[in-house]
Amino acid sequence: MTADGAPESAPRARRLLRQRVDYLRAALAPERPLRIVDVGANPINTPDYDTLLEMGGCEVWGFEPEENAFAELQANPRPGAHYINKAVGAPGKGTFYNHPQNGLGSLYPVRKESVAFLGHPGWHREEVATAEIDLVSLDDLDDLPPPDLLKIDIQGGELDVIRTAREKLSQAVCVIPEVRFYRMYEGEPLWGKLDVELHDQGFVLHKMLFTKPTMIANSQAARLKGKAVRGQLIDGDAVYIRNLEVPQDWSDAQLKQMAIAAAGVFSSFDLTVHCLDRLSDRGAIGPDVAEGFIDTLPGWMRNPG
């Protein structure tokens, strides 16, 4: 937003983000860039870490099993990004339902009754090409460095990825999964089970990046504006952070990476300042770093004086 309350333009928002992250990286001097593992790196959407990757602030290991999506990633190589044509989940054989609509492919078939209720009956196809695939767990990938941040968007398979990555996630500071509130696929786990598993691994829900509602099928749908009347919540992207109530359990390196992720990936500036405060308490950074970070925020976020 600008001083008069209008939204920031996209170029200005990116410029401010770069300034914030540049300030943090100079002040914190992390030993390495933020490590991100992206399971389901289909380029159909621009990831929230895109600007951070552009400026060399993170390294990404992206997993994408769909051949067309993987080919698109390979056709646009980026410094710091490594793409792997593997499906991640509970190790073993699986069946992939290669839905013709980009982004709907899954290890679970689309549930006909669900998508009809949600007003999208075309999402269900009677005949969908399937393929037997080999699934690997993150814990079984010895060459994969432990991530600071795990992002997952694989249409229902998120729980299996998290359950079979306990070792890899043992030092991670953040997990960003797509979470399902209303079942779209046959047999897919809903948000509650993911929440329990992440809490068991030491993470707590921090925020929702967004939630996606839709209009329920009804006789007057053609007369209703779909963007204005959307009553049924389907899914969204949640941000889970490692519990910070006991900061002594965190290393300086984890606090630094959390501060950068919060500022450069999911815009939680209060969390960034909290991490800077803890680092200052330890004498790892100067007491003025948090104040300097506030100066990098747009004026509409700051109180005068």
Q: Which of 50, 64, 51, 53 is nearest to 102 (CA)?
A: 64
pLDDT band of 11, cuts 50, 70, 90? confident
- 61, 77, 286 from 34: Cα distances, Å: 11, 19, 22
More confident residue, 101 or 47: 47
Torsion, CA 195, CA 199, CA 201, CA 205, rounded to 10:
80
Choose the weakest-confidence range: 99-108, 195-204, 277-286: 99-108
Query: What phi and psi values does residue 281 have, to the nearest 5 degrees?
Result: -60, -35
What does the pLDDT read at residue 4? 43
**What's the CA gap between 209 and 115, in Å, rounded?**
23
Residues in the chain: 305
pLDDT greater than 60 at residue 66: yes
* DSSP-assigned beta bridge partners for residue 239: 207
pLDDT band of 25, cuts 50, 70, 90? very high
The CATH number of 10-85+139-207+241-301 is: 3.40.50
State the pTM of this model.
Answer: 0.94
Under 8 Å between Cβ of 165 and 141: no
Interior angle at CA 49, CA 287 and CA 242, nearest 5: 60
**What's the CA gap between 180 and 14, in Å, rounded?**
29
What does the pLDDT read at residue 3? 45
Calculate the average pLDDT of the chain. Answer: 93
Residues of the chain above pLDDT 70, percent: 97
More confident residue, 102 or 33: 33
Under 8 Å between Cβ of 252 and 31: no
Tens of pLDDT, residues 134-143: 999 999 999 9
Interior angle at CA 173, CA 277 and CA 299, nearest 5: 45
Burial state string for 293-304 with b = 16 or more CB within 10 A and e = fewer than 16:
beebbeeeeeee
Choose the weakest-confidence range: 12-16, 18-22, 146-150: 12-16
pLDDT band of 105, cuts 50, 70, 90? confident
Q: Calculate mean pLDDT across residues 55-66.
A: 94
**What's the CA gap between 107 and 188, in Å, rounded?**
9
DSSP annotation of 140 reads G
